[in-house]
């Protein structure tokens, strides 16, 4: 028999985690998140709830948090507690963790996902703007760990930190977030070493650039369709937030009990293609024309 390899690109479908994992694997468990009212972390919380967990979502915008919590409960039938908190303020996070414990009596899983980002070259980035992103992404992760660790030790639970892949190479206009995410990766590894002997695990998920306004912003300045890097991604398409959430389900499950201190890239192989995401070197040599081009398209 002769096997003929496909000459057309195979694109596999998005498959829900409920088709793979039991829908009660997190029954009786509680997952707390920063950044859970939107984007990728919202999807992670939703999927965790579909597998039986109750949840806590934290963010600065109280009304939006409440709206998202109500929607999550409606979609999953589980309880979601909204807590207004700024990850730059340790007292906010400690109060939210206490409130979560008072409501549910436990915290098993923590997703550190709150982040901010924008495009700017170093020369156009103020010291304060750089610090703000590091404060939210990196210091905010540290503050979240500090506020929740006493509870997570009790349940011998697990952390997932949301990082990125952009700091694996020197991506122009992303100095602030690259520095912050490299710090998040390092912090998670130390947490894994320090808390592993107490049964607490810590891992990182590094997503592709799937679904945010920043992504739209970036798409606006990419070359025309056909030349764009997602057309040549190994798995042939952008990811769906649910596919990033699927990694969280696995990492929080008991099947991952021997996995800690690791970074998991979930990006359809995009990281290996390594195409610069801004026209290069134009973005560096003439940032103003680049910015004008972006502004005109959004
Ligand atoms: N989407 C992508 O393309 C991509 C790619 C790689 C990595 N990531 C990472 O994945 C995570 C989620 O990204 P996303 O794009 O899906 O998120 P997003 O929709 O932009 O949401 C960011 C979330 O963070 C919260 N947040 C921001 N600043 C905060 C603060 N100071 N205190 C508390 N909460 C704060 C926001 O809520 P409030 O406004 O209510 O505070 C919001 O819910 C981030 O860590 C991001 O760096 C995303």
The CB density around residue 258, as the number of other CB atoms within 10 Å, is: 6
Q: Pick the residue whose CA is nearest to atom 31 on ligand 1.
A: 86
- Does 138 sit in the ligand 1 pocket, CB within 6 Å? no
Residue 273: name the closest of 217, 214, 209, 193 by CA: 209
Closest CA to 48 of 30, 74, 71: 30
Burial of 99 (0-12, 13-18, 19+ CB in 10 A): middle
Instruction: Kindly state if the Cβ of 241 falls inside 6 Å of ligand 1.
Output: no
Separation CA 70–CA 72 (nearest Å): 5
CB-facing half-sphere around the CA of 26: CA atoms within 13 A:
34
Torsion of CA 251, 255, 261, 264, to 10 degrees: -50
3-state secondary structure of 117: coil
CA–centroid distance, 113 to ligand 1, in Å, is 6
Going from the Cα of 1 to the center of ligand 1, the distance in angstroms, rounded, reads 52
Q: Which two tokens stand for residue 20?
A: 């793979």
Predicted local confidence at residue 211, as pLDDT: 47
Contact 128, 171 (CB under 8 A): no
Three-state secondary-structure class, residue 113 = coil
The answer to whether residues 191 and 202 touch, using CB atoms and an 8 Å cutoff, is yes
Distance CA 112, CA 145 (A): 8
CA distance 212 to 163: 15
Mutate to test the pocket of ligand 1, among 38, 44, 112 (most ligand atoms within 8 A of CB): 38
Report whether 28 contacts 79 (CB < 8 A): no
Q: State residue 295's pLDDT score.
A: 76
Predicted pLDDT at 31: 99
Q: 87 CB under 6 A from ligand 1?
A: yes
E-assigned strands of the chain? 30-34, 54-59, 80-84, 109-112, 158-162, 201-207, 263-266
β-strand 263-266 against 109-112: which pairing, if any? Answer: unpaired
Q: Which atom of ligand 1 is nearest to the CA of 65?
A: 40
d(CA 162, CA 141): 9
For the residues of 156-225, what is the DSSP string, one character each? T-EEEEE--SGGGTT-TTBHHHHHHHHHHHHHHHHHHHHHGGGT-EEEEEEE-S-SSHHHHHHHTTSPPT
C-alpha of residue 211 to centroid of ligand 1, in Å: 11
Q: Which atom of ligand 1 is nearest to the CA of 113?
A: 45
Cβ neighbours for 291, distance < 8 A, ≥ 6 positions apart: none
Q: Which residues are catalytic?
A: 163, 181
C-beta of 221 in contact with ligand 1 (< 6 A): no
Ligand 1 within 6 A of CB of 293: no
The pLDDT of residue 296: 75
Of 255, 166, 176, the closest CA to residue 215 belongs to 166
Written as tens digits, the pLDDT of the chain (298 aa) is 788 888 888 899 999 999 999 999 999 999 999 999 999 999 999 999 999 999 999 999 999 999 999 999 999 999 999 999 999 999 999 999 999 999 999 999 999 999 998 889 999 999 999 999 999 999 999 999 999 999 999 999 999 999 999 899 888 899 999 999 999 999 999 999 999 999 999 999 999 765 454 555 455 555 544 444 455 678 888 888 999 999 999 999 999 999 999 999 999 988 887 655 677 788 888 888 888 877 776 6
Q: Which residue has the tokens 């039938």?
A: 77
**212 CA distance to ligand 1 centroid (A)?**
9
């Amino acid at each position: 028999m002769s096997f003929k390899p496909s000459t057309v690109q195979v694109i596999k479908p998005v498959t829900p985690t409920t088709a793979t994992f039991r829908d009660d694997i997190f029954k009786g468990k509680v997952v707390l998140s920063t950044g859970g009212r939107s984007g990728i972390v919202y999807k992670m919380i939703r999927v965790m709830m579909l597998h039986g967990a109750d949840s806590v979502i934290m963010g600065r915008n109280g009304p939006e948090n409440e709206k998202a919590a109500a929607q999550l409960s409606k979609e999953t039938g589980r309880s979601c507690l909204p807590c207004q908190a700024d990850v730059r303020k340790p007292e906010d996070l400690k109060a939210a963790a206490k409130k979560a414990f008072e409501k549910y009596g436990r915290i098993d899983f923590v997703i550190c996902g709150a982040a901010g980002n924008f495009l700017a070259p170093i020369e156009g980035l103020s010291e304060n703007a750089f610090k703000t992103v590091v404060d939210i992404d990196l210091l905010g992760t540290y503050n979240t760990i500090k506020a929740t660790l006493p509870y997570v030790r009790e349940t011998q639970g697990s952390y997932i930190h949301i990082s990125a892949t952009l700091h694996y190479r020197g991506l122009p206009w992303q100095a602030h977030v690259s520095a912050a995410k490299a710090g998040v990766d390092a912090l998670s590894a130390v947490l894994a070493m320090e808390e592993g002997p107490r049964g607490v695990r810590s891992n990182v998920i590094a997503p592709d650039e799937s679904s945010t306004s920043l992504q739209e912003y970036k798409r606006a300045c990419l070359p025309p369709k056909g030349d764009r890097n997602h057309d040549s991604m190994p798995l042939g398409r952008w990811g769906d937030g649910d596919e990033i959430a699927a990694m969280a389900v696995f990492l929080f499950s008991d099947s991952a009990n021997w996995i800690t201190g690791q970074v998991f890239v979930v990006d359809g192989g995009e990281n290996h293609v390594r195409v610069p995401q801004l026209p290069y070197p134009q973005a560096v040599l003439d940032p103003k024309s680049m910015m004008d081009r972006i502004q005109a398209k959004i």
